[in-house]
Amino acid sequence: MALITQLSQLDLQGTYNYADYLTWRFDDAVELIKGKIMPMSPAPNVKHQILSRNFLLKIGVYLEEKKCQIFHAPFDVKLYDHKKSILSDQEIYTVVQPDLCVICDPKRLTEQGCHGAPDWIIEILSKGNSKKEMHIKYQLYQESGVLEYWLVYPYEQVVQQFFLNEESRQYQLIAMYSSEDMVTPVLFPELKIDLGKVFVD
């Protein structure tokens, strides 16, 4: 098999698994969504990076000496339907790189990243994010069992907070917050995040 060193060597209409993904040796950042290659947006801008850093610092401090850990992109998260048992790399067709994710089960951590759904994911939108991409990620996180999902809009300075309903296995919009609000994750009710200190210019 030829060494894959450029994205152009791959068939973007083809279907690939995580074992394929691990063999690629190009610099382009991509995610796999149900076997299909999805090139990621260009490198995040400064506003995106500041937001990511601010969330990371505040959540990281809170999680010190707790069993849960926070990770930031680039960090591979292999996803599959929550009703299925743990799969091999050849059986996994979705790998994403959330901006931030919190994982409380150490058994889900591997040398490559996270095997299965994190407990909490935060995605910070970039100008390059399409509505289609947002919809796909929402559905993916829901069906794979990510309990809490925050969608951050940097320019509007808004956070949407979703939580997975235990019975319906569907996301419910808990609330929408602005930069004037204090937001608390459902999973960590003692953690208070002042969005005014996160959304700084």
Over residues 170-194, mean pLDDT: 97
Eight-state DSSP code of residue 86: P
Which pLDDT band, with edges at 50, 70 and 90, does 178 fall under?
Answer: very high
Instruction: Provide the pLDDT for residue 84.
Output: 64
| DSSP label of 1 | -
Model pLDDT for residues 100-109, shown as the tens digit of each residue: 999 999 999 9
Burial of 186 (0-12, 13-18, 19+ CB in 10 A): middle
Listed by start position, the domains of the chain span 46-86+95-198
Q: Are 54 and 200 in contact (CB under 8 A)?
A: yes
**Structural tokens at position 100:** 């931030």
Q: Which DSSP category does 99 fall into?
A: S
pLDDT given for residue 129 in this prediction: 72
CA distances from 76 to 44, 46, 145, 171 (A): 17, 22, 16, 23
* DSSP SS3 for 186: coil
β-sheet with 69-72: strand ranges across: 69-72, 100-103, 120-124, 148-153, 158-164, 171-178
147 membership: H or E segment, kind and range? none
Cβ proximity of 17 and 90 under 8 Å = yes
CATH 3.40.50.920 matches 46-86+95-198:
no
**For the segment 33-91, what is each residue's pLDDT rounded down to a tens digit?**
999 998 887 777 899 999 999 999 999 999 999 999 999 999 999 998 766 656 778 88
- The whole-number pLDDT of residue 83 equals 63
Predicted TM-score (pTM) of this structure: 0.92
